[in-house]
Amino acid sequence: MPLDSAARDERAPWLRLVLTPSVGAGTALSLLRAYGLPEAIFAAGTGALARVAGTEAAARLNGSDATRDAAVAAALDWAQGPDRHLISLADPRYPARLLEIGDPPPLLYVVGDPAVLALPALAVVGSRSCTAAGQGNARAFARSLADAGLAIVSGLALGIDAAAHRGSLDAADGHTIAILGTGLDTVYPAENRGLARQVAERGALVSELPLGTAPERWNFPRRNRLIAGLSMGVLVVEAAKRSGSLITARLAGEFGREVFAIPGSIHSPVARGCHALIRQGAKLVESAEDVLSELRMPRIRPASPAAQELDPAGDASQGASAGATALLASLGWDPAGLDELAQRTGQGAGALNETLLELELSGVVERLADGRYQRRG
């Protein structure tokens, strides 16, 4: 898009504001509170701006910057593509819930349908290094909650995030929102590019970061505040004691959102973050109905048949042989090694390995990295 056309676009001043070096979201909000719209900010003198934003930011705002002008034009050109949107604070499509978080982004980049940003939403987050059971729970909960009319918000990361997005896409009319820690012209991780396309078709990809922003680790905590802010509550499925998901949960609490956590085995490292949240007052949940009840949301449509198949409260042992069912009862819900199972059952290693393989192939049991076995969901 030629620069003169960009200058006439009402979104151009918003882009110029957020793309000015030394002007972060906090400074931009201070200027907007002081002057109203970006046009008024750029009409003010450098001295007046300096009293709000500081000398360096004021000079950069009113100075010439060819790199910034090119970035503005490139963003406007990008927004001409199908289902691409630039949504400023002045846009009626800007999600109202983000206005409650204290530092809402002045401008959002969106791919997909901006209308889903106004739907009642729940964040489902958790560990990248999750268990197969955790992924199954995330997908099942997300599907059931999407069936109930909640848009599922997550961060498009590997593990729990991806499972949550897929669960919402499994629902007949499910919607999902992925908040990225990169520019929207970069999908991270690359393994989730196909998933990102599906999310854009049934929901929206959202970022406050300029196009071309690479996946730098300091961008993800800021991304997490948008996940929490856009949602009525946050459900943590699996999380280690030091986890970005706990940052999202903490921010949700600060924003007055509900915090939910699924408990796990006392032996599992990825359950410790959830247990810590529960000790701090998060709601312990065992089913999607627990979440809906706390949010005072009725189940507005019956769960899809697929959601019922993935109900985490269902009996995973159905269809297993008698020997497998007996071994499953001996395994219980905590991880156990082959020697321990041999002691409990009195069976030899050969017979145990055969039965465990049957349970693994049927998806009822998973073998952990340390060689122990754990029941799935």
Give the model confidence (pLDDT) of 147-180 as tens digits: 999 999 999 999 999 999 999 999 999 999 999 9
Give the model confidence (pLDDT) of 176-212 as tens digits: 999 999 999 999 999 999 999 999 999 999 999 999 9
CA 300 to chain centre: 23
Comparison of pLDDT for 266 and 234, the residue scoring more: 234
Give me the pLDDT at residue 377, please.
62
Give me the pLDDT at residue 265, please.
85
As a whole-number percent, the residues of the chain with pLDDT over 90 amount to: 67
Comparison of pLDDT for 336 and 307, the residue scoring more: 336
Structure tokens at 375: 């029941």
Give the model confidence (pLDDT) of 257-281 as tens digits: 999 999 988 888 889 999 999 999 9
As a whole-number percent, the residues of the chain with pLDDT over 70 amount to: 92
Class of 322-375 in CATH? mainly alpha
CATH architecture classification, 114-309: 3-Layer(aba) Sandwich (3.40)
From the DSSP assignment, how many helices (H) and strands (E) are in the chain? Answer: 18, 11
Q: Which long-range contacts (CB under 8 A, 24 or more apart) does 311-314 make?
A: 311/140, 311/144, 311/287, 312/136, 312/137, 312/140, 312/141, 312/286, 312/287, 312/377, 313/286, 313/287
Task: Kindly indicate the confidence band of residue 8, based on its pLDDT and cuts at 50, 70 and 90.
Answer: low
Give me the pLDDT at residue 306, please.
39
Mean pLDDT of the chain: 88
Separation CA 12–CA 15 (nearest Å)? 5
**Span 294-309, mean pLDDT?**
57
- Global pTM reads 0.81
Among the ranges given (119-123, 244-248, 290-294, 329-333), the one the predictor scored with the smallest mean pLDDT:
329-333
Separation CA 247–CA 257 (nearest Å)? 13
Among the ranges given (124-128, 352-356, 369-373), the one the predictor scored with the smallest mean pLDDT:
369-373
Helix (H, G, I), strand (E, B) or coil at 4: helix
Give the model confidence (pLDDT) of 79-95 as tens digits: 999 999 999 999 999 99
Most confident segment among 210-214, 238-242, 323-327: 210-214
Give me the pLDDT at residue 3, please.
41
Give the model confidence (pLDDT) of 327-349 as tens digits: 888 887 778 888 888 888 888 88
CATH architecture classification, 3-80: Orthogonal Bundle (1.10)
Q: Which of 63, 59, 105, 80 is nearest to 6 (CA)?
A: 80
Q: Are strands 365-367 and 176-179 parallel, antiparallel or unpaired?
A: unpaired
Where are the chain's structural domains? 3-80, 114-309, 322-375
Comparison of pLDDT for 140 and 300, the residue scoring more: 140
Separation CA 16–CA 169 (nearest Å)? 36
**Span 26-40, mean pLDDT?**
94
- DSSP letters along 342-374, please? HHHH---HHHHHHHHHHHHHTTSEEE-TTS-EE
Judged against a pLDDT cut of 60, whether residue 59 lies above it is answered with yes
Comparison of pLDDT for 331 and 67, the residue scoring more: 67
Separation CA 14–CA 209 (nearest Å)? 13
CB 211 within 8 A of CB 15: no
